[in-house]
Each structure stands twice: as C-alpha cells, then as structure tokens.
C-alpha cells in the first residue's frame, strides 16, 4: 500500500443507539485501512441523504461488511492506495460512492466507485454528487430506458434525487414534469428544467400529466412515494411506459389494477443502490463518467447544494432534512480538511 503520513485516529460522527438527530455525536476511531482494490480518502465533504436519517432511526441497517458510521458519499483527496489500484494516485481529488463511513475525516472507497471531481466544481459541491447521480442514472436510464424525445415524471422534484433527475432528463433531451409540495419548490423544479411543476398539495398530478401530454401520458415515472401513488402513477403512463420505484415514503404496499399493466404493456421496476455489488457500482460509475461528467463539465447539470454544515453539526443537518425545507442537497464539511 502507498500512503502519505497519516494519523492513527480520526474524528467521526457516530451514534450509540437509534434515535432523534441528537444521538449523532463526535467520536474517535482508528483510521480505516484500504484493501487491495480500495483507496483511503481524506474527506473534505460528505453528502447527507434521506437513507442516513433512516439508518439513524434504526430502520436501514448497514449491509454486511459496511462501516456502522453514516455517510454514503464523500469528496476529498486520495491519501493511500491499495496494492492493486492503478487508476488513482496519492493527491488526486475524487468523489466516491461508499456503502457507509462518510461522516468521518477519512473514508475507504472501492477504487472503481471513485470518480474525478468534475472540472469547474469544488470538492464540497462534488460531495453532493455520487449518491443521487448513481441512483438516478441506474434507475431512470438503465431501468427506465429514458430516451431523447420521451417524457419523464419525477416525484419529489425538489429532493436531492429529484433535482438530479430533472436535470438529467432535460440534459438527455427528454421533457420533464415534476411534483413538489410548495410553490417555492415548484419554481425551483422549473428553474432546473421541468417544463411543468405540479404542486401535489393543490393539484391532481394525474390530471395535470394527462393535460400536459395531450392525454398520451409519460414514458417513465420516477417515484419515491409509493402507497396510493402507485395506481395513480400507472394511470399517468403511456403505452409501454415504465414505473421505476426507488423508495416508499408513504407505503411499500399498493393495490394495482393489473389489467392496466397488461393492456398498455407497462413495466413496473425499481432498485436500491446500496446492496449492489462493487462491480455493478463500478459499471454505473463508468457510465456516469461517459455520459454525465460531460453534462457537469458543460454545466448542463449543476450540483444543487442547499446548505453546508460543519461535520460536528451533523445533528442540525439531519433536523433540516427531516423538516423537509431543503431544495437539493445538504453537505457536511470536515473541519480538518485543507481548503
């Protein structure tokens, strides 16, 4: 293993038992050691995601082998590389998707899950990229098969995932409709490229989708709500449309009229990123580098960072996420990182 001089210990954010945001406390842990195919990153920023909140509540345990420390994405500087790693060198700026361990001064990442910081963006902005970009790419394009000229409906349009999906859809040449829960959030969705944002508290999204598409419906729905949204999403789909489920903020259970699925030859699919293999995540990383990094570097897609918090204030970041006021992403900045 090649490495710069490193401390034996680091500061992390940890929690002893599940609970409210205040269970998140700074602690000290030994530095993690990268395996042969891994790198060690001195973390500059770590993205905060909804699944972190679920894990803190004890509802989303880390997969076997993943650290118990929260944090699914980081950006920083490579300070050690495993024996088999030839694509990264000491001193490289990278952002990375990780299965845990991001809320820490140092974090191990599989080399194939690292990407260069896209030209024109800071390390803190890059820290907000991996989780939503990997998720949206694999679900909207690989599973949902979105094509230029098609129409995409994004629920939770102002979320970290939603702000990414709207921009990817638009950059790929699709027409995007989005739902959000306030006029301010709807305006943000339209600024990011939605041709029509739907305030789901005031309007029936099924009716608006039908009106906006001349009765045809949309080709792909990206949904994180579930429950009674499922039959309504099916109503929104065009012939041969695809419903892609990535979460169920309301409920994992729904009643579905299968005759609709058969008559219009619909596909209902979905996926969850975290338990997928390193090889699969590495393949998504390669697709992102090929298709999405040019969008980021041309600023056709921009990271939407709502607020940056010092890492010691992780509890406050979780309170903001649970309040639902944010538009886009929340990021933790690690105090010891050099600018």
Ligand X SMILES: NC(=O)c1ccc[n+]([C@@H]2O[C@H](COP(=O)([O-])OP(=O)(O)OC[C@H]3O[C@@H](n4cnc5c(N)ncnc54)[C@H](OP(=O)(O)O)[C@@H]3O)[C@@H](O)[C@H]2O)c1
Nearest CA-CA partner of 286 in 97, 119, 126, 154: 97
Query: For residues 24 and 80, which CB has a smaller minimum distance to ligand X in the complex?
Result: 24
Stretch of 7-15, 16-24, 215-223, 242-250 lying at the interface with ligand X (CB under 6 A): 242-250
C-alpha distances in angstroms, 12 versus 71, 157, 265, 279, 317? 10, 31, 49, 28, 15
Query: Per rule CB under 6 A, is residue 249 in the interface with ligand X?
Result: yes
C-alpha distances in angstroms, 262 versus 230, 236, 300? 15, 15, 37
Sign of CA dihedral 9, 10, 11, 15: negative
- Binding to ligand X (CB under 6 A) within 297-326 occurs at 321, 324
Query: For residues 105 and 131, which CB has a smaller minimum distance to ligand X in the complex?
Result: 131
Out of 225, 234, 301, 317, the residue judged to bind ligand X by CB under 6 A:
225
Query: Which x/- pattern, by CB under 6 A, does the window 102-141 give for ligand X?
Result: -----------------------------x---x------
Stretch of 18-26, 44-52, 88-96, 277-285 lying at the interface with ligand X (CB under 6 A): 44-52
Query: Per rule CB under 6 A, is residue 159 in the interface with ligand X?
Result: yes
Query: Per rule CB under 6 A, is residue 66 in the interface with ligand X?
Result: no
**Any idea which residue has 């309040």 for tokens?**
323
Query: Per rule CB under 6 A, is residue 226 in the interface with ligand X?
Result: no
Cite the DSSP H helix spans in 79-226: 123-127, 130-136, 160-171, 183-191, 205-212
Out of 56, 170, 185, 318, the residue judged to bind ligand X by CB under 6 A:
185
Stretch of 32-40, 110-118, 144-152, 241-249 lying at the interface with ligand X (CB under 6 A): 241-249
Q: How many residues bind ligand X (CB under 6 A)?
A: 26
Q: Taking the CB of residue 330, how many other CB atoms lie within 10 A of it?
A: 23
Query: Which x/- pattern, by CB under 6 A, does the window 252-291 give for ligand X?
Result: -------------------xxx------------------
Residues with Cβ < 8 Å from 55, sequence gap 6 or more?
61, 62, 70
Query: For residues 42 and 326, which CB has a smaller minimum distance to ligand X in the complex?
Result: 326
Query: Per rule CB under 6 A, is residue 244 in the interface with ligand X?
Result: no
Closest approach, Cβ 178 to ligand X, in A, equals 10
At residue 173, φ and ψ (nearest 5 deg) are 95, 15
Q: Running DSSP on this structure, what letter comes out for residue 118?
A: P
Residues with Cβ < 8 Å from 176, sequence gap 6 or more?
151, 152, 153, 154, 165, 166, 169, 170, 193, 194, 195
Could you list the residues that contact ligand X (CB under 6 A)? 49-51, 131, 135, 156, 158-162, 180-181, 185, 200, 224-225, 246-247, 249-250, 271-273, 321, 324
């Amino acid at each position: 293993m090649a490495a710069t001089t490193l401390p034996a210990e680091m500061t992390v954010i940890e929690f002893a038992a599940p609970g409210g945001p205040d269970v998140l406390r700074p602690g000290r842990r030994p530095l993690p050691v990268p395996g042969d195919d891994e790198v060690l990153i001195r973390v500059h920023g770590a993205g905060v995601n909804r699944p972190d909140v679920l894990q803190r509540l004890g509802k989303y345990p880390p997969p076997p082998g993943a650290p118990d420390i929260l944090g699914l994405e980081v950006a920083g500087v490579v300070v050690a590389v495993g024996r088999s790693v030839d694509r990264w060198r000491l001193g490289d700026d990278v952002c990375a998707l990780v299965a845990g361990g991001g809320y820490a001064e140092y974090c191990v990442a599989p080399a194939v899950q690292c990407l260069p910081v896209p030209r024109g963006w800071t390390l803190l902005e890059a820290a907000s990229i991996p989780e939503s970009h990997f998720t949206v790419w694999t679900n909207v394009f690989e599973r949902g098969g979105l094509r230029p000229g098609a129409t995409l409906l994004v629920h939770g349009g102002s979320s970290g995932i939603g702000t990414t999906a709207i921009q990817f859809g638009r950059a790929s040449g699709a027409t995007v409709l989005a739902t959000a829960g306030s006029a301010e959030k709807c305006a943000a969705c339209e600024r990011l490229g939605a041709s029509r944002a739907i305030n789901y508290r005031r309007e029936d999204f099924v009716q608006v989708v039908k009106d906006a598409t001349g009765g045809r419906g949309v080709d792909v729905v990206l949904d994180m709500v579930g429950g009674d949204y499922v039959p309504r999403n099916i109503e929104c789909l065009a012939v041969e449309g695809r419903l892609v489920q990535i979460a169920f903020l309301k409920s994992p259970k729904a009643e579905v009229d299968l005759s609709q699925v058969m008559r219009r030859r619909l596909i209902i699919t979905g996926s969850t990123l975290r338990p997928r293999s390193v090889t699969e995540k590495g393949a998504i990383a390669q697709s992102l580098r090929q298709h999405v990094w040019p969008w980021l570097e041309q600023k056709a897609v921009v990271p939407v960072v709502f607020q940056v918090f010092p890492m010691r204030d992780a509890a406050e970041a979780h309170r903001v996420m649970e309040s639902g006021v944010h538009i886009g992403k929340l990021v933790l900045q690690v105090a010891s990182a050099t600018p």
